[in-house]
Amino acid sequence: MNEQHAHLRIESQLAQIGSLEEPVTGAISFPIYQSTAFRHPRLGQSTGFDYARTKSPTRKVLEDAIAGLESGDAGFACSSGMAALQTIFALFSQGDHLIVSLDLYGGTYRLLEKIMSRFGVTATYVDTNDLDALESSCNPNTKAVLIETPTNPLMMITDLELVCGWAKKKGILSIVDNTLLTPFFQRPIELGADIVIHSATKYLGGHNDVLAGLIVTKGNELSEQMAFLHNSIGAVLSPQDSWLLVRGMKTLAIRMERHQHNAAQVANFLLQHPQVESVYYPGLESHPGYEIQKRQSSGNTGIFSFKLRDARYVEPILRHIKLIAFAESLGGVESLMTYPAVQTHADIPEEIRRQIGVDHRLLRYSVGIEHADDLIADLARAIDLAHAEIEGA
Ligand SMILES: *Cc1c(COP(=O)(O)O)cnc(C)c1O
């Protein structure tokens, strides 16, 4: 973040990312610096840029912006959310143990169980809201707790202040995946977290057109360690994609407000629908995490899940939605619907999926910024057509 912008409200900071950073031409949109090499003025001197894997001007604008937005000390842009998680996991060594949210992004589970486990880093999956469960899974070799809140897809809420405070007492790191809320609605570092990670592919990018991950660290030692890992591993974001992400983030505030508005409308529609058994949306007062969510964040995400009464409806609903695309991502301006049990969460064993409730009646809906009435009409029509097929059969 440019120091001249540090006192501004978050909407203004977002809109102005990079706008003061280009001193030569005064470009409002910070340019894409494609160069991988930078001339040294003399032996022992540097412009601050040497080689693009280590530091690159367009990427630096993005990294400084996310560090400021998340109230951290340093930001790191990676080639995907998974690359960001892999870079963070490189903090740990053989024999180390992590405590991880039970309801978890499937790719994170896969990285831990199929890859990190081969390097001797193990994980225990617990409900991170249950302090007894946290306490009993914390061993002398436990190094960190990794929290998603809300979780994906079941939207379970963790009290960040409570759990980050617990982690601090235990002397372990707290890492928060803030993909679903973004710093516009929730800033985990202000609640005690040490590291924030984003799949910036989702809300931060916001247009289903750039794959990216971001890391923010708090504290000098951790920031230096992460800079070392980011440069050594090299899964860094390209200048073009850094620019595209900055461009997306400028409109984050108005997009999040619209996502939130639309999600509430559609969730309320589904809540009253006879074919729907339950709606998992933290913006509903009936949601078990409603109070905590209200206290620790300033708004709700645009994604939620819902459970149908009858699994036979899933296939025809996914076939009949038209405006809403049957596709596997979230956080973009276009509405997408996915079927977690066979898509995003297919790598999580059936036993764990059942335990947390990701079953064959659950659909996840990333509500876009279209008009809410059009989205409700599309969904109502698809459910009616599914109903007619099933009843007629
Ligand atoms: C998508 C996602 C990831 C992985 O990010 P990619 O950009 O797809 O690599 C990690 N965590 C959460 C919560 C996600 O939704």
Whether residue 242 contacts residue 211, with contact meaning beta carbons closer than 8 Å, is answered with: no
Q: How far apart, in whole angstroms, are the C-alpha atoms of residue 41 and residue 48?
A: 11
Of 210, 229, 249, which closes a domain? Answer: 249
List pLDDT tens digits, range 77-117: 999 999 999 999 999 999 999 999 988 888 999 999 999 99
On whether both 334 and 191 belong to a single domain, the answer is no
Q: Residue 56: which CATH number?
A: 3.40.640.10
Tell me how many domains the chain contains: 2
**Structural domain harbouring 357:** 252-392
Q: How far apart, in whole angstroms, are the C-alpha atoms of residue 106 and residue 179?
A: 14
On whether both 238 and 308 belong to a single domain, the answer is no
Q: At what angle do helices 81-89 and 220-233 cross, to 10 degrees?
A: 120
Which candidate, 347, 359, 352, places its Cα nearest to that of 113? 347
On whether both 337 and 199 belong to a single domain, the answer is no
Q: How far is the CA of 299 from the centre of ligand 1 (A)?
A: 20
Q: Is the pLDDT of residue 351 over 90?
A: no
List pLDDT tens digits, range 65-79: 999 999 999 999 999
List pLDDT tens digits, range 21-47: 988 999 999 999 999 999 999 999 999
List pLDDT tens digits, range 171-194: 999 999 999 999 999 999 999 999
Q: Is the pLDDT of residue 302 over 70?
A: yes
On whether both 189 and 236 belong to a single domain, the answer is yes
Active-site residue list: 53, 105, 177, 202
Q: Is 179 in the pocket of ligand 1 (CB under 6 A)?
A: yes
On whether both 53 and 180 belong to a single domain, the answer is yes
Q: How far is the CA of 7 from the centre of ligand 1 (A)?
A: 31
- The distance in angstroms from the start CA to the end CA of the chain is 60
Check residue 346 and give its pLDDT: 75
Of 249, 272, 300, which closes a domain? Answer: 249
On whether both 299 and 152 belong to a single domain, the answer is no
- Claim: this prediction has a pTM higher than 0.75: yes
Average pLDDT of every residue of the chain: 95
Question: CA 3 from chain center: how many Å?
Answer: 26
Check residue 392 and give its pLDDT: 84
On whether both 124 and 203 belong to a single domain, the answer is yes
On whether both 359 and 273 belong to a single domain, the answer is yes
List pLDDT tens digits, range 257-290: 999 999 999 999 999 999 999 999 999 999 999 9
On whether both 212 and 326 belong to a single domain, the answer is no
On whether both 53 and 172 belong to a single domain, the answer is yes
Q: How far is the CA of 153 from the centre of ligand 1 (A)?
A: 12
Q: Is 211 in the pocket of ligand 1 (CB under 6 A)?
A: yes
Residue-wise burial string across 309-334, b where 16 or more C-beta atoms lie within 10 A, e elsewhere: eeeebbebbbebbebbbeeebbbbbe
On whether both 216 and 299 belong to a single domain, the answer is no
DSSP class of 215: E
Q: Is the pLDDT of residue 303 over 70?
A: yes
